[in-house]
Chains A and B, each alone.
Chain A
Amino acid sequence: MGLYVLRRLVSAVPVFVGIATIVFLVLQVLPGDPVAMMLGFSVTAEATARLRAELGLDDPLWVQYVRYWRNLARGDLGRSMSMDVPVAQALWAQFPATLQLTVAGMGCAIVLGMLLGVLAAVRHHTWWDTATMTVALAGVSIPSFWLGLLLILAFAVHLNWFPITGQGGWERLVLPAVAVGLRAAGLLARLTRSSVLEVLRDDYVTTARAKGAPERRVIFHHVLRNALIPVVTVAGLQFGQLMSGAVIIESVFAREGLGRLIVYGIMQRDILLVQGAALFLATTYVLVNLAVDLSYAVLDPRIRLGAEAAR
C-alpha cells in the first residue's frame, strides 16, 4: 500500500513540472511585447524598460526559467501590478471562498444526482423515470451561469427566500452551490440510474426479495452499496470540473474567489496574477485527482493489487 501511494505521488511530479512550465511559457508566447501589453499603450519608454528589467525579461530564456523555479520553490509567484500585493498572498486570500463553493456544489451534486438516479431506476419505465432523466439532461444542457441568474430571479428577487449576492452565511451559499452542482448532478443521476438498474438484475437482489426482505431494505442495504462504487468514482473526478464551474458562478453571485480574481486580472491585463491563479488552480486540480486515486486504493484493494500485479 505504501509503495503504491509513493508511486502515485512520484508520478504527479512530472505533471506539476509540466504545468508550471506551460504557465511560465505564457509570458513568452504573448504576441508583441508583454510589458507594453501590461502597461497599456500610453506609457513612456523608460517605464517599459524599468518593468522589463524588474521582470527580468531581458535575460536569456533559460536564466528566466531557472529564476522562475527558484521563486516557485520559495512560494513567490511575483507581484500583482494591479493590486500591488504578492500574487501568492492574493491567491491564498481568495482560495477558501472558491473551495467552500466547490465543496457545497459537490454536496449538492451528490445528494441531488443520487436521489434522482435511484428514483429513476426504482420507478423504471414510469413517468418518474422520464421526468427525472429529463431534469438530468436539462442539468447537462443549461449553462450554469444562466441557471444562477434564474435562481436569483426566482428565489431572491421574487420569493425573497435568499439574499441575492455576496459572502457569508449558509443562506448566501445555497443558490450558488445549486448553480455549480446541477450539471454534475445531471451526470451523476444518469450514471446512478444505469448502475442501479444493472445491480437490480443481480441474483443476490432476487434472493433478498425471495427471502421476503422489504423493498426499502433491498434498495438501501443491497442495491445501493454496490451500485454506488462507480458513482463515487465519477463524483470524485467531477471535483476539478466543479472548481472551474465555481470560477464562473462567483461572478454571477458577486462572490469573492479565484474566478473573480482571474477575470479581474484579465481585465486589468495583470498577467502575473492570471499566471499565478492558473498555476494554483491547475495544481489543485491535479492534487484532487491524485487524492481521489489514492482514496480508491484505500477503499478498493483490487485497484492497488492490480497496479502492483501489472508491474
Chain B
Amino acid sequence: MSGADERKVSSLRELSPAIEPARDLWPQIEARINAERSTAAPPRPARARAVPPRWLAAAAVVASVAVGVWIGRSLLPAARPAAQSPISASRANFTDAPTALDVAYVPDPRYQRDRAALMKTLQARLAALPPPARAKVMASLAAIQRAKQDLQNALGKDPGNALLQELLVNTYQDEMRVLTDVHEASDPGRGI
C-alpha cells in the first residue's frame, strides 16, 4: 500500500468481507498442467492398468492345469511300464489314488467323493461275500483296472481318440456299477 491509501486498521470489522484476487491464476495453472501431459509418454489404456493381480493369478492357474492335464494325457501313461508284476498289479487293483487321467476325464467332485467312499469300504464288503463270489469279483475288478490301464496307455499314444475316450468313460461307469453292486450285495439291510 502506498501513502494515500494507507490507513490504520484498528479492528477486523473494518476489513471488506470479500476480497477478489487481483487476477485469476487457474487458467494459467490448467494450461501448464495440460502442456506437461502432452509432453509426457502416452498413457496406457485405462482397462489394461485396471486388471487386478488376482485375475492374472487365476489365468496362471488355468494355464498350469491345462499343461498338467496335457502332460498327464500325453506323457504319463506312455512313461508307465507296459507290464506290471503280478504283485504290483494286484496292489494297484484297489488303489484309491486318482491318476492324471482320472483328473482329466472325471472332474465331477461328486463322482470322486462317491467312489472314494465305496473304495474305503471295499475290503470289508468283499470279505462279507461268499468266497467264490469274492474271488470272481476281485478278478472282475482286476479286469476293469487292466482295461483302464490299457485305455490310458492307448490314449497316451492318441490323446484325441474319441473312441478311446468313450470306452474309458464307460469303464469308469462300469467300475462304479461293480462297486455299488458289491456294496449292496454285502449290505445285510438290503434285499436279504
The answer to whether A binds B is no
